[in-house]
Amino acid sequence: MRLEIVTRGTDLLAECPVWLAAERHLLRVDVTRQAILERDVATGAEHRRSVHAPVGFALPARRSGLVAGIGRELHVLPGDSAPRVLAAVEPDRPANRFNDAACDSRGRLWAGTMSTERRSGEAALYRIGADGEVVPAVRRATISNGLDWDLDATRLYYVDSATQRVDAIDFDLDRGRLGTRRTFAAIDAGDGLPDGLTVDAEGGVWVALFGGGAIRRYHPDGRLDAEIRLPVTNPTSMAFGGVDLTDLYVTSARHRLSADQLAREPLAGSLLRLRPGVRGRLPHRFGDG
């Protein structure tokens, strides 16, 4: 499979890639450099927006602009007015921050936190509405990470990286509630830490293996379908993009790699693109519904 290098070793800890179809741009964040990056993949032009704290995600909002998890605050970053804080979580846990997030088809944001000290059970997954209401959905997480829905939105796939699993949770779209949770795919610790996740247009579940140098695709029944080895040890997440949504963009990290490791792995922190032979789905925007 042909693999293209979109950017070469530019990111410390890139996460949460999102395809912006109208603009034909790819959005991603660099967590530790505290930046939101929007790239025109046709021209290579890239706009960088610096923020004041580690940024776990940035997602498109309904009318314009973005919603971003910065530190433990949810910021609305409109295209034509001043930014504002919509919500905040976990004021008593300064070592935590927002991590990965996604919007369901009703425009509700599902945003997780992580314990940067890896304190077991100190993080959570929250449902956040356009009015700023925050409702805990999954308690006692450690590193709330990738999430996406199956094709009929009756199942949420969810990663708490510390569990070494992808879980499937029954999902009530009308009420925005979670039900029974069970293991969808268990991942051996030697194969890497489960990180970002996306579901393709055939229902296949893709997960990045941080530290494992690979991404995997699972069938909707949990069977492993494919593993694609990558020239980076720490892939973090992925998103389908391109005009026909057949390009798979993979973010990666050089965060915490030693000088010797970086010398052996010059592509660490690169943005990669490949075409795995399936199409993706467009992300939902915050506030739609």
pLDDT of 155 strictly over 90: yes
- Ordered alpha helix ranges (H), 13-66: none
Q: How far apart are CA 257 and CA 277, in angstroms?
A: 32
Kindly indicate the confidence band of residue 289, based on its pLDDT and cuts at 50, 70 and 90. low
How would you classify residue 21: left for phi > 0, otherwise alpha for psi between -120 and 50, otherwise beta? alpha
Among candidate residues 160, 167, 195, 247, the one labeled active-site is: 195
pLDDT band, very low/low/confident/very high, at 63 (cuts 50, 70, 90): confident
Residue 21 has phi, psi (to 5 degrees) of -65, -40
Q: Return the structure tokens found at 100.
A: 């990965």
Q: Which domains does the chain have, with CATH numbers?
A: 3-274 (2.120.10.30)
The band of 258, judged by pLDDT with boundaries at 50, 70 and 90, is very high
Phi, psi angles (nearest 5°) of residue 190 = -70, -15
pLDDT higher than 90, residue 159: yes
CA distance 138 to 47: 34
Q: Please state, in angstroms and rounded to a whole number, the distance separating the CA atoms of residues 1 and 184.
A: 27
Question: Looking at residue 121, what is its pLDDT?
Answer: 98
Q: List, for residues 73-108, the tens digit of each pLDDT value.
A: 999 998 766 889 999 999 999 999 999 999 999 999
pLDDT at 82: 80
Q: Given this model, what pLDDT does residue 245 score?
A: 98
* Mean of pLDDT values over 244-259: 96
Compute the average pLDDT of residues 237-258: 97
How many Å apart are CA 120 and CA 280, to the nearest integer?
33
Is residue 195 annotated as part of the catalytic site, yes or no? yes
Phi, psi of 27 (to 5 degrees): -100, 140
Pairing of strands 144-149, 155-160: antiparallel
Quote the pLDDT of residue 261.
94
pLDDT of residue 275 exceeding 80: yes
The pLDDT of 168-184, averaged and rounded, is 98
Asked if 5 and 246 count as a contact pair (C-beta separation under 8 A), the reply is no
Q: Which of 232, 203, 205 is nearest to 216 (CA)?
A: 205
Amino acid at 51: V
Tell me what the mean pLDDT of segment 216-226 comes to.
98
Query: 262 pLDDT exceeds 90?
Result: yes
Average pLDDT, rounded, for the chain: 96
Residue 95 neighbours by CB under 8 Å, 6+ apart? 115, 116, 117, 119, 122
